[in-house]
Amino acid sequence: MDLKTRNAIILAPHPRTKKTNTHIVNIIRTTLKKYNAPENLVIGIEEPTLESTNELMKQCDLVVATGGGALVKSAYSSGTPAYGVGQGNSVVVVDETADLKDAANKVMRSKTFDFATSCSTENSLVIQKKIYAEFIACLKGEGGYLLSPEQKAKLQQVMWVDQHLNAKIIAQSVQTIANAAGINIPEDCKFIMVEESQIGPEAPFSGEKLSMVVALFQYDHFQEAIDHVNEITNYHGRGHSCGIHSFNEEHIKQLALATKTSRIMVRQPQCLANSGAWTNGMPMTLTLGCGTWGGNASSSNITWKDLLNITWISSPIEHNMPTDEELFGEIMLKDK
C-alpha cells in the first residue's frame, strides 16, 4: 500500500525477525528492478537497534507501528504522525443457535493459520453451557485436543516464565509445545484446548498466547458472555476484536453495542476475516487500529487511504443558506 500511494518505505523489524525482513525486502527490491522502478523505494534495516528505530521514527514523515505497546508509545512520542495498533486477544462467542460443525471448522482454520501468530486468532471461546459438550466434540473432530487439569498445569509452567509469555513457544507446532511441557498428544492434533473459568494475571490462559492454544469458557445467560468478552479484553486486547457464531440477530447487536471492540466477525474464522477478505468487505490490511480503547488514534483497518495527503479544491456552489429565523427560531421567539 506504500508504493500504491507513491511512498517509499523503510522497514525496521524486531531483531528476531531481521533475517526474514531482509529476505522479503530483497525479493521486493529485485521485483522493482525488474520493472525499472527505483529499488530504494523499499529499504530494510538489516541490523536493527532501539536507537536506530527511534531515530528513524523521528526523521520519517509517517510511522506505522505494528508491535507491542512500548513500540506504539515510542511511535506516538516520536514527534512524527503515527498509526499504532493494539494488542490482540480475540474472544469468540458461540451461542445455542450456532452451526456447531461449521463454527468448529472455522475456529480450527483460524487457530492453525500461520501457527496462531496473528493478533486476530481465537484466543478464547465463550460457549453456551447447553451446547458446550457438543461443541467440544465438534472441535475434537477438527483436531482439537482437550487437556486434563494436570496437563494444563504443566503447560502453564512452560508457556509463562516469570509471568511473561515464553518466546520459545511462540510460532511453534503443537507437538513442540506439548513436548516442552512433557505432555503426550496425538500426532494428528492440530490445536490444544484448555478449560478456564478465571480471567486476569492469575489465569494467564485468558490472555494472548501467540500459539495454537485456545481457552474455553462457559456461560449461561448471554449477558454473561458479554461480561466475559469485556473482562478478557480488559485484561488483554481492549479495543481489538471479538466474534460470534450465532444466527440470533439480537445477540449479535448486543455484543456490538456492549463490548469495547473495533471489529466483530459474525460466523467467520476470526484471523482470516478481521484483516479483510473477499467474503466480508472488510478493508484489507495487517494493521488493525484499536481506537482509544486500545490507546490508538484510529479504530479502523489502516489501508492505503491512510497514507495519502489529500488536497481539497473548493469552488462556490449553489446554496440555500438558512435564515436566522430558520436556524434559531424558537430561541428568537423566547427572546421576544
As a whole number, mean pLDDT of residues 189-202 equals: 97
Instruction: Report if pTM > 0.85.
Output: yes
As a whole number, mean pLDDT of residues 189-214 equals: 97
Instruction: Determine the pLDDT at residue 71.
Output: 85
Instruction: Determine the pLDDT at residue 335.
Output: 62
Is the pLDDT score of 28 beyond 70?
yes
C-alpha atoms less than 13 angstroms from C-alpha of 153 in its C-beta half-sphere:
3
Q: Do the domain assignments include residue 240?
A: yes
How would residue 258 be classed by pLDDT, with cut points 50, 70 and 90?
Answer: very high
Distance CA 240, CA 289 (A): 7
Is the pLDDT score of 68 beyond 80?
no
Q: Do the domain assignments include residue 331?
A: no
Q: Do the domain assignments include residue 27?
A: no
Q: Do the domain assignments include residue 111?
A: yes
Q: Do the domain assignments include residue 7?
A: no
Instruction: Determine the pLDDT at residue 327.
Output: 86
**Number of domains within the chain:** 1
Residues with catalytic annotation? 119
How would residue 273 be classed by pLDDT, with cut points 50, 70 and 90?
Answer: very high
Instruction: Determine the pLDDT at residue 315.
Output: 93
Q: Do the domain assignments include residue 59?
A: no
C-alpha atoms less than 13 angstroms from C-alpha of 312 in its C-beta half-sphere:
2
Q: Are strands 242-245 and 42-44 parallel, antiparallel or unpaired?
A: unpaired
Looking at the DSSP bridge assignments, the partners of residue 301 are: 288
Q: In this structure, what CATH number is given to the domain that contains residue 151?
A: 3.40.309.10
Instruction: Determine the pLDDT at residue 332.
Output: 74
**Could you list the residue range(s) of the whole structural domain that residue 170 is in?**
91-281
Instruction: Determine the pLDDT at residue 336.
Output: 61
Q: Are 169 and 177 in contact (CB under 8 A)?
A: yes
Among 63-77, 79-93, 189-203, 280-294, name the one with the lowest average pLDDT: 63-77
Percentage of the chain surpassing pLDDT 70? 99
- The full 3-state SS of the chain, as one line of letters, equals CCCCCCCCEEECCCHHHHHHHHHHHHHHHHHHHHCCCCHHHEEECCCCCHHHHHHHHHHCCCEEECCCHHHHHHHHCCCCCEEECCCCCCEEEECCCCCHHHHHHHHHHHHHHHHHCCCCCCCEEEEEHHHHHHHHHHHHHCCEEECCHHHHHHHHHHHEECCEECHHHCCCCHHHHHHHHCCCCCCCCCEEEEECCCCECCEHHHCCCCCCEEEEEEECCHHHHHHHHHHHHHHCCCECCEEEECCCHHHHHHHHHHCCECCEEECCCHHHHCCCCCCCCCCCCCCECCCHHHCCCCCCECCHHHHCCCCCCCCCCCCCCCCHHHHHHHHHHHHC
pLDDT in tens, 311-330: 999 998 888 888 888 888 87
Distance CA 236, CA 165 (A): 13
**What angle (nearest 5°) sits at the alpha carbon of residue 196, between those of residues 253 and 266?**
25
Is the pLDDT score of 283 beyond 80?
yes
Q: Do the domain assignments include residue 13?
A: no
**Of 97, 111, 259, which Cα lies nearest the Cα of 194?**
111
pLDDT in tens, 150-181: 999 999 999 999 989 999 999 999 999 999 99
Q: Are 200 and 235 in contact (CB under 8 A)?
A: yes
Q: Do the domain assignments include residue 276?
A: yes
